[in-house]
Amino acid sequence: MFNDRSSLPAFFATRRSGKARDMVAPGPDAEQMRRILSAAIRVPDHGKLAPWRFVVIAPGQRDAFADLLHRVYRETQGEPTARDSAATEEFARQAPALVVVVSTADPSAKIPLWEQELSAGAACMNLLDAAHAEGLVGCWLTGWAAYSDTVRAAFSPTGRIAGFLFLGTPGRELQERPRPDYADVVSEWSPPA
């Protein structure tokens, strides 16, 4: 149990996503990655289905990942422009560490599909929070590759890519982004008349 309750709100108030393209080494070492992924699995999981998987793309596999993305892009969208090719290359190689989170929701389970998918999203968020706790920064991206059946099949025969989670050290100061006003998103329920 977290005992220092006074710092818990500050912890969440200071978490920010970093831009994956701005991340530099070091990324998480093996021990840190284990702690990060162990924290990521500690999410609400109705039915104890573990409807998510984590696939780490090791640094030595980034070339193969880039090749996959380039091939699939050409097969599905035609010959890329120089800009598209550079963006695909950057996506595959940015940040020191990359984890692909796959939603493995089971439509035949008694647990509603939506709840299983929410659990995968919660796993992504826990992963980002755990990276923050390790003094690192994370970025959760999707993009066209997350919705490609061919890219998905490279990571799971039946699942869906919930996100590409990039981890590293901020290469520049993280900027606060606009957040919704508290009063715009929080209300008290009143029963219908």
Residue 1's pLDDT is what? 36
Across all residues in the chain, what is the average pLDDT?
95
- Asked if residue 95 belongs to a domain, the reply is yes
Residue 123's pLDDT is what? 98
Q: At residue 97, does pLDDT exceed 80?
A: yes
Q: Which domain holds residue 108?
A: 16-172
Dist CA 161 CA 148 (whole Å)? 9
- Asked if residue 76 belongs to a domain, the reply is yes
**Residue 150 neighbours by CB under 8 Å, 6+ apart:** 72, 75, 76
Mean pLDDT of 11-29: 93
What one-character DSSP code corresponds to residue 95? S
CB 27 within 8 A of CB 96: yes
In the chain, the number of structural domains is: 1
Q: At residue 8, does pLDDT exceed 80?
A: no
- Asked if residue 62 belongs to a domain, the reply is yes
Dist CA 87 CA 81 (whole Å)? 10
> For residue 28, is the peptide bond before it cis, meaning its omega torsion is within 30 degrees of 0?
no
Q: 100-114: per-residue pLDDT in tens?
A: 999 999 999 999 999
Task: Pick the range with the lowest mean pLDDT from 11-20, 109-118, 120-129, 165-174.
Answer: 11-20
Q: At residue 5, does pLDDT exceed 80?
A: no
- Asked if residue 97 belongs to a domain, the reply is yes
CB 161 within 8 A of CB 42: no
Which is more confident, 181 or 8?
Answer: 181
Mean pLDDT of 115-127: 98
Residue among 167, 170, 171 nearest 141 (CA): 167
Residue among 14, 59, 54, 8 nearest 34 (CA): 54
- Asked if residue 184 belongs to a domain, the reply is no
pLDDT band for 6, please (50, 70, 90 cuts).
Answer: low
Q: Is residue 67 within a helix (H) or strand (E), and if so which, with residue range?
A: helix 62-77
Q: 133-151: per-residue pLDDT in tens?
A: 999 999 999 999 999 999 9
Residue 3's pLDDT is what? 54
- Asked if residue 21 belongs to a domain, the reply is yes
Residue 94's pLDDT is what? 97
Dist CA 77 CA 1 (whole Å)? 50
Residue 9's pLDDT is what? 78
- Asked if residue 121 belongs to a domain, the reply is yes
Residue 4's pLDDT is what? 60
- Asked if residue 189 belongs to a domain, the reply is no
Mean pLDDT of 144-161: 97
Dist CA 82 CA 66 (whole Å)? 15
CATH number at residue 72: 3.40.109.10
Query: What would the two tokens of residue 139 be?
Result: 């970025």
Dist CA 49 CA 94 (whole Å)? 32
**Residue 82 neighbours by CB under 8 Å, 6+ apart:** none
